[in-house]
Structure 1
Amino acid sequence: MSRYFAQVEYKGTNYKGFQKQKNSKQTIQQKIEFALSKVANEKISVVCAGRTDAGVHATNQIVHFDSKSKREKKSWISGTNRYLPNDISLINIGKTSDDFHARFDAKKRTYIYIIKNSEIPLGIEFDNFLWIRSRLNEKQMNKAAKKLLGEQDFSSFRASGCQSKSVIRRIYKANVTRKGNYLIFEVTANAFLLNMIRIIVGTLIKVGKNEITPEDFEDIIKKRDRKLAGRTIEAKGLYFVGPEYNNLDYKVNKVFVNELD
């Protein structure tokens, strides 16, 4: 029996999230396990680094699984992709230590949220980004984002259905930048609460529209009251860029942000 890690990218639009569900086959996990099981010729179960919600995309989801089967790397990748739908792709795979854990060994996780800020509505990009017509002030948004840094109580950005025992999270990086008509919010933390990023973005948009100030944003964090924060924004602009490990060396698939203008 060997333990493997696999690197997967997917478009989350047509799925009910990563985690397998009893009443649905439309999850990322179900599709990956089905494809790997076909190649391995045995039942495969995977554990992921971050359980993305319905509609959320990923460029570097990491999973681990155990298998008795012996396959060359090329055979694992080509065989698995043969059984995966077109919006899910296995891009890398390899053996790892028997005690490696995709979720618990992840020290940091990075997400980006992309907004298309233009007078022209989305067409072909509809499922990829959030469209906001009115001009957003990215400098003020970035100033507000810096208030997120450090270890804090993020109750104000926690969905009511969140089952996490702790609301304390440490954010290492939080930036809002503009590339032409696109605004990119990038955030790195040790972990996130349910819908945390989408609520943060909904609140940052209020800053960008000059409805609240960066100081108001900081006050919302300190008051720990979900009712004071902005709405939970749509999932379609959210991308899981990937985890960071001390015990796994993998090449990060470069997100397509560099191609935006």
Structure 2
Amino acid sequence: MNQLLRQTFASLKSSGRKAIALLLDPDKTSELEAFRVIELAEAHGVDFLLVGGSLTVDASIHTLVPAMKSRTKLPIILFPGSPTQITPSADGILFLSLISGRNPDLLIGRHVEAAPLLKGSGIEVLPTGYMLIDTGKPTTANYISNTQPIPHNKPEIALCTAIAGELLGLHQIYMDGGSGADSSISTEMIHAVSSRIDIPLIIGGGIRTQEDAMRIWHAGADVIVVGTALESDPSGSFIRDLGAAKSQIHAQSEMEFPQI
């Protein structure tokens, strides 16, 4: 089984390096817009392209992903809301188990439906503990999943949930404030989780500025995911800012811990 992406994510945690993932909603992203994002991503140090969402209205993902693959060597990873969003042209899939909720359909039910499609498909499967965090207002993910998010001021609940996911054998934890979140997940919660798990931590939701990204990376996130902010960034200035912030963090790290 292909494990290149799994090894890439794991190396982030072990090396202390940071990564950027851009999330494209196939219902809102034309091929032309995707090509624009790809050009900016390649120029400014983006590591992964995620495609998908909690709810997709049409089947555009099945044409968008192959078109993107024809334009870039960056890994394209599915972020599926349902098995209908699985397309074999992708490099990998975040096989999400919603461990913050108690909805059996999203803990294992949808996975049973998707398993025959994924087995032997060539898509690298990345078992991921998905945790919804309250960041100020109801989101599509909350509504569609029919679950309550973890309260923003309860880092101990997030920590115990993440540890449980790690002990169950999941390969990364994704804490998400949801699309259009009012604010990002607190640095207290991020640090509490990151400092106690040995698998990569992905953070998404409410990341709108370079300062947000720096704060979240410094708190312990290995990967940040930016989606909604791309929709209001036609110039690509935010992607450039993220790339600059990542380079700054890596430069600081090399000064503090020079390679021998």
Give the TM-score of the pair, scaled to structure 1. 0.26
Looking at secondary structure, tell me which structure has more helix per residue. Answer: 2
Looking at secondary structure, tell me which structure has more strand per residue. Answer: 1
